[in-house]
């Protein structure tokens, strides 16, 4: 257990240091979400009329944009597994006297941490654009949802990358899975407005519960209910983390 903890912590530290030493990665990952928030939230305010409380549209989509940052940053963290395989670093970790579970836990913790940091930076940018400042309680609850979203989709990225060797193939699968996941999460529009079959697809989407939880924590609007959001995300996090650990057992050097 001690070896598992220290090995996981070391891998987590490596991922965080790599992130902090790459300013271009930090700024580049926030560019598209910032323009989504600015152009949609401000530019299209007059085109939308929200039934729930009459809040500004930018307040409504800000939690959805945070979910977008977490989704993209967490899932793409799996591509580092492929790069490490190509450069030989993954082989060094796999032959080291540490459990493979430590590699999965360390990478998941690292991806979750970096994704949450990016989401916090995006939250700061949202406040700059006029989004109302959340309460301390709401911010703490939002951090819990950020962590759960990060764990879920970083685990998914690691699980996919553990069975792939081509980074270009990973990017194609990434785009195939991520864009529908984002647009069916209720990030940009209320779920009540979706037609029946799309609404069912949204209920099966884990990010839906993450976005709804962030919205409930930050602006007090939750269509599903924060307890349900927490329960579903906890179950999804445990399931995907277990799946990632099982698939990584058979990862090739």
143, 129, 150: which is closest to 72 by C-alpha?
Answer: 150
List the pLDDT tens digit at each of the 253 positions of the chain: 777 777 888 889 988 888 888 777 777 777 788 888 888 777 766 566 555 445 678 888 899 999 999 998 888 777 777 777 777 777 777 777 777 788 888 889 998 999 999 999 999 888 888 887 778 888 999 999 999 999 999 988 888 887 777 777 777 877 788 888 998 898 888 877 777 778 888 899 999 999 999 999 998 888 899 999 999 999 999 999 998 888 877 655 5
CA dist 195 and 184 (Å) reads 12
Q: Where are the domains of the chain?
A: 2-249
Neighbours of 173 (CB within 10 A): 14
pTM flag (> 0.95): no
d(CA 209, CA 145) in angstroms, rounded, equals: 9
């Amino acid at each position: 257990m001690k070896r598992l903890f220290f090995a996981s912590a070391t891998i987590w530290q490596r991922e965080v240091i790599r992130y902090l030493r790459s300013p271009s990665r930090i700024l580049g990952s926030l560019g598209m979400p910032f323009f989504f928030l600015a152009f949609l939230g401000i530019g299209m305010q007059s085109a939308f009329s929200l039934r729930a409380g009459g809040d500004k549209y930018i307040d409504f989509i800000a939690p959805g944009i945070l979910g977008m940052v977490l989704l993209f940053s967490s899932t793409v963290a799996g591509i580092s597994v492929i790069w490490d395989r190509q450069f030989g670093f993954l082989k060094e970790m796999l032959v080291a006297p540490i459990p493979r579970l430590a590699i999965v836990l360390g990478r998941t913790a690292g991806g979750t941490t970096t994704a949450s940091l990016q989401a916090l930076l995006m939250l700061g940018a949202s406040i700059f654009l006029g989004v109302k400042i959340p309460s301390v309680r709401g911010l703490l609850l939002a951090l819990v949802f950020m962590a759960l979203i990060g764990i879920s989709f970083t685990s998914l990225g690691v699980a996919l990358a553990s069975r792939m060797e081509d980074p270009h193939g990973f990017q194609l699968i990434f785009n195939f899975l991520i864009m529908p996941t984002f647009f069916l999460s209720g990030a940009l529009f209320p779920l009540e407005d979706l037609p029946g079959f799309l609404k069912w697809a949204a209920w099966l989407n884990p990010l839906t519960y993450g976005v709804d939880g962030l919205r409930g924590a930050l602006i007090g609007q939750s269509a599903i209910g924060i307890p349900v959001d927490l329960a579903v995300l906890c179950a999804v996090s445990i399931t995907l983390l277990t799946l990632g650990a099982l698939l990584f057992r058979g990862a090739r050097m």
